[in-house]
Amino acid sequence: MHYQPKQDLLQNRIILVTGATDGIGAEAALTYARYGAELVLLGRNEDKLKRAAEAVRLAGNGQVHYWKLDLDTTSAGDCQMLAHEIAQRIPRLDGVLHNAGVLGDIVPMIDQAPEVWQQVMRINVDNTFFLTQALLPLLLKSDAGSLVFTTSSVGRQGRSAWGAYAVSKFATEGMMQVLAEEYRSQNVRVNCINPGGTRTKMRANAFPDEDAARLKTPADIMPLYLYLMGDDSRRKTGISFDAQPGRKPGAAE
Ligand code: NDP
């Protein structure tokens, strides 16, 4: 995407990022801080969270807050309690990037292990939804809230062996569409980003034989992440965007 954001695009914006401790989420948090945002970081690993928060603090001028949240073991009630704690520290949320996710097993449907299937659904769908539900009151306090989910090309067109991950991303697209309709006449827009093949640990697990040097890095795909959090996307809702439009799904050739 060719997008040239203004350097103060996210000044006075408060943005929460899940899975902010690695890969695309860590890069998005740093990028938002560089463009002026105050950050709320969520992650499952306390040490990685502290390091990510320090990096974000150094990258920007705004404040950074962080909370530990394991989307595998949390519950709807825990998410409500977390949202309550967050509301004690910040007045509103202007953006939420749901980025955390897991891949599960790349095996045919007949071989999908029930516990792995359920774990993928818990992290990518159920608890992502319960967190969204808990955070919506804070987003509705913004004059232009942006709720962004992370999808995948296999969440739009099923692919053999992508099992629970593909189904979870179809659910993500559905969650985005329902919420976008519900808030269409209010001040919260809801969209998805499909990053496209990006050089991260998850990608290396999915395609171990691929030449990672041929993939875009998380930094390369940040223009869309910025666009959707800033004022230029204010009227966009209910859309599933591609961070790498035109890229053919699958392994890098
Ligand atoms: P990574 O595996 O590099 O990062 C995933 C992040 O999610 C990490 O910060 C990880 O935490 C966090 N996470 C995983 N499980 C949990 C959990 N139980 N609770 C809380 N946080 C958790 O993946 P990517 O950066 O590649 O992926 C980011 C998003 O982009 C995902 O939603 C993925 O599905 C999507 N995507 C990625 C593509 C790619 O090519 N990379 C392509 C299409 C979609 P920790 O740091 O502790 O490991």
The ligand 1 atom at the shortest distance from the C-alpha of residue 124 is 32
**Which residues span the domain enclosing 176?**
14-242
Which residue is associated with the tokens 């804070």?
Answer: 138
Angstrom distance (rounded) from CA 101 to CA 152: 11
Please give the tally of structural domains in the chain: 1
The ligand 1 atom at the shortest distance from the C-alpha of residue 151 is 44
* 131 lies in some domain: yes
Look up the CATH number of the domain holding residue 169. Answer: 3.40.50.720
Mutate to test the pocket of ligand 1, among 16, 18, 24 (most ligand atoms within 8 A of CB): 24
Which amino acid makes up residue 84? H
Closest by CA to 4, choosing from 232, 157, 179, is: 232
pLDDT band at 2 (very low <50, low <70, confident <90, very high): confident
C-alpha angle 83-48-148 in degrees, rounded to nearest 5: 45
Helix, strand, or coil (residue 216): strand
Q: What is the ipTM of this complex?
A: 0.99
The confidence score (pLDDT) of residue 151 equals 98
Closest by CA to 227, choosing from 114, 110, 148, is: 148
> Which whole number is the average pLDDT over 128-146?
98
Distance 19 CA to ligand 1 centre (A): 6
As for ligand 1, residues whose beta carbon falls within 6 Å of it are 19, 21-25, 43-45, 48, 70-72, 99-102, 123, 150, 152, 195, 197-198, 200-203
* 68 lies in some domain: yes
> Which whole number is the average pLDDT over 113-132?
98
Q: Respond yes or no: is residue 165 known to be catalytic.
A: yes
Judge whether residue 252 has pLDDT over 90: no
pLDDT band at 250 (very low <50, low <70, confident <90, very high): confident
* 4 lies in some domain: no
* 168 lies in some domain: yes
* 143 lies in some domain: yes
Considering the candidates 32, 35, 66, 165, report the single residue annotated as catalytic: 165
The ligand 1 atom at the shortest distance from the C-alpha of residue 71 is 19
* 76 lies in some domain: yes
* 123 lies in some domain: yes
Q: What are the structure tokens assigned to 46, written together?
A: 């306390």
Distance 9 CA to ligand 1 centre (A): 25
CB-based contacts of 213, cutoff 8 Å, min separation 6: none
